[in-house]
């Protein structure tokens, strides 16, 4: 139970800190058991970025683990400051970041490139959030270019898993079964009908992608695609001294040339993140209509400011290949779904989101859990990538309605998945002006004539 009580129809109590609304567990909100349980498994998704940091950035395991812990601590900051969304990675950008980092040698070069992307993304959030230009730019962006970016990110995510030498080749049984279960539970019309009829199906679905990850881990262990974990007992002590060796203060700050090269990938990162914001806002708006007992403040400007802070801190002190996204869509959707069941199910949307993030963070410090999941980190990231790829492709396809726009989007997507952000932006913009702009102008002229 919380110290402060909320009356029906009011906003959850808070302490004002500038534009933010600061809340603490057991003082402003209660802890929610389902979200607490879920977080002790889903934190492995955060850990799954460790192999990327090791293989493509050149970090040691200890440094990468420390980066992940900083990431979770900064997630705590976002929810504590009053945003009703579960923060996370900019997941669709990860395969594009990997392509981008492929042009740099793992070590100081790759670290500088990653720092450049993260700092640029931070200031894009700051400038476009404060001015409100972010919404305008994304709205004015052609549908074919938005679709191309999303489809390309989805293709890159899936290609990274199924290409020769990828995780599908290494662990086919666990990945195929885990991925199929994940997609079945999240998108199958049959499971949706089962969800409406069965309390068991509903209870399983409320844990989001956690059941799929656990099943995949168990299968991977049984068929010996993954080794048995070597469990250690105690508390995780982050090696911040080791992490410091991979900061720009040690390896050097990026040159102007690296910043210029990083601009396209940073722009795409913001566009993808803004799409997540739209999805998250839609989810909360839907919940707001169902739950009349609570006022929810989902100010997008505050979300931009916190995203700036998180990415800026990471860029300087803990470069993170997943970047700091404003919304973990699957986690937010899971919380919102249970929130709609009423106040008895979940006291407040803030109690749900905050509890999940607290649990995600605590999981990083429980050494037995960290070492339990350590051998299985690739499968957690793989299932997340499969889910992300499916979502990006289906959402991207929904943007394009004509044959020409579909063609522009698909060519942009293929270039993006193959050659990276800079080439894709150029190709997408050129094709838009060559093929679509004239068509749009003609359509407008015909409308005026009519």
pLDDT in tens, 66-78: 999 999 999 999 9
The three-point CA angle 216-222-226 to 5° equals: 70
Among residues 68, 1, 95, 107, which one has the least CA distance to residue 348? 1
Please compute, for residue 331, the number of CA atoms within 13 A of its CA located in the half-sphere on the CB side: 34
Is the pLDDT confidence value at 116 over 70?
Answer: yes
The answer to whether 304 touches 134, Cβ cutoff 8 Å, is yes
State residue 4's pLDDT score.
76
d(CA 182, CA 186): 6
d(CA 63, CA 67): 6
State the average pLDDT over residues 263-289.
82
Question: Within 10 Å of residue 274's Cβ, how many Cβ atoms?
Answer: 23
- Say how far residue 386 (Cα) sits from the centre of its chain: 13
State residue 374's pLDDT score.
83
Residues 174-194: pLDDT tens digits?
888 888 888 888 778 887 788
Is the pLDDT confidence value at 133 over 60?
Answer: yes
State residue 320's pLDDT score.
94
Among residues 421, 366, 416, which one has the least CA distance to residue 113? 421
Q: Residues of the chain with pLDDT > 90: what percent?
A: 28
State residue 138's pLDDT score.
66
Q: Residues of the chain with pLDDT > 70: what percent?
A: 96
Strands (E), 139-288: none
- Say how far residue 63 (Cα) sits from the centre of its chain: 21
d(CA 423, CA 434): 16
The answer to whether 271 touches 346, Cβ cutoff 8 Å, is no
């Amino acid at each position: 139970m919380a110290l402060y009580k909320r009356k029906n129809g009011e906003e959850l109590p808070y302490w004002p800190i500038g534009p933010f609304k600061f809340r603490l567990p057991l003082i402003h909100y209660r802890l929610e058991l389902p979200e607490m349980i879920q977080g002790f498994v889903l934190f492995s998704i955060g850990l799954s970025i460790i192999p990327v940091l090791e293989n493509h950035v050149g970090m040691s395991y200890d440094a990468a683990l420390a980066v992940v812990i900083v990431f979770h601590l900064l997630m705590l900051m976002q929810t504590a400051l009053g945003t009703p969304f579960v923060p996370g990675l900019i997941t669709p950008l990860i395969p594009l970041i990997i392509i981008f980092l492929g042009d740099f040698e793992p070590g100081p070069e790759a670290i500088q490139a990653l720092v450049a992307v993260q700092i640029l993304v931070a200031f894009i959030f700051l400038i476009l959030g404060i001015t409100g230009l972010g919404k305008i730019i994304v709205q004015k962006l052609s549908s074919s270019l938005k679709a191309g970016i999303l489809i390309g990110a989805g293709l890159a995510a899936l290609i990274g898993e199924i290409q020769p030498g990828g995780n599908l080749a290494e662990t086919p049984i666990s990945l195929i079964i885990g991925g199929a279960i994940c997609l079945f539970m999240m998108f199958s019309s049959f499971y949706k009908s089962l969800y409406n009829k069965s309390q068991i199906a509903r209870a399983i679905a409320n844990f989001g992608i956690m059941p799929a990850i656990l099943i995949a881990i168990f299968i991977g262990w049984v068929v010996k695609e993954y080794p048995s974990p070597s469990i250690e007992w105690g508390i995780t002590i982050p090696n911040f001294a080791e992490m410091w060796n991979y900061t720009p203060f040690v390896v050097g700050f990026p040159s102007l040339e690296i910043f210029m090269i990083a601009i396209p990938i940073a722009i795409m990162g913001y566009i993808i993140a803004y799409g997540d914001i739209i999805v998250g806002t839609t989810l909360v708006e839907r919940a707001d209509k169902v739950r009349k007992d609570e006022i929810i403040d989902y100010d997008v400007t505050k979300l931009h400011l916190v995203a700036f802070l998180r990415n800026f801190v990471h860029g300087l002190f803990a470069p993170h290949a997943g970047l700091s996204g404003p919304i973990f869509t699957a986690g937010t959707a899971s919380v919102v779904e249970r929130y709609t069941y009423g106040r008895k199910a979940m006291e407040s949307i803030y109690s749900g989101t905050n509890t999940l993030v607290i649990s995600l963070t605590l999981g990083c410090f429980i050494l037995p859990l960290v070492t339990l999941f350590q051998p299985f980190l690739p499968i957690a990231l793989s299932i997340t990538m499969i889910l992300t790829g499916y979502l990006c492709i289906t959402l991207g396809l929904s943007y394009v309605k004509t044959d020409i726009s579909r063609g522009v989007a698909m060519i942009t997507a293929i270039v993006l998945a193959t050659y990276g952000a800079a080439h894709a932006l150029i190709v997408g913009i050129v094709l838009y002006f060559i093929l679509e702009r004239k068509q749009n102008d003609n359509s407008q002229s015909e409308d005026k004539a009519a």
